[in-house]
Amino acid sequence: MSPELQTLDQLLGGDMSLSVTRQLYPDDAAFVRGIHGLLAGGDVRLLRGAEVVPEWRWRQILCKENDFSSLRLQISDQGVTRIS
């Protein structure tokens, strides 16, 4: 199973921090590509606290953020449909 599908599968159990999600990917480049693809495709939302991170910040956060603990992913209805 691809890391992207593993991410969606894990998110069926609830929101997950990016630091935990990062462990599903073999390296930083695969992580950035995979999560950006899920975000762009509408399968997940990136949250900081209770707020959705706007699209224009995704790459910057994924590439330059050192502390992912305040960020989490939430599966969308579309993502649930994709994995079910």
CATH number of the domain within which 56 lies: 1.10.10
Q: According to the model, what pLDDT value does residue 69 have? A: 77
DSSP-assigned beta bridge partners for residue 47: 52, 72
The tokens describing 14, both together, are 């609830």
Q: How confident is the model at residue 66 (pLDDT cuts 50, 70, 90)?
A: low
| Phi-psi group of 49: left, alpha or beta (phi > 0 → left; psi -120 to 50 → alpha; rest → beta) | left
pLDDT reading at 12 higher than 70: yes
Q: Domain range spanning residue 13?
A: 3-83
DSSP-assigned beta bridge partners for residue 36: none
The model's pTM is 0.92
pLDDT reading at 65 higher than 80: no
Domains: count for the chain? 1
Q: How confident is the model at residue 17 (pLDDT cuts 50, 70, 90)?
A: very high
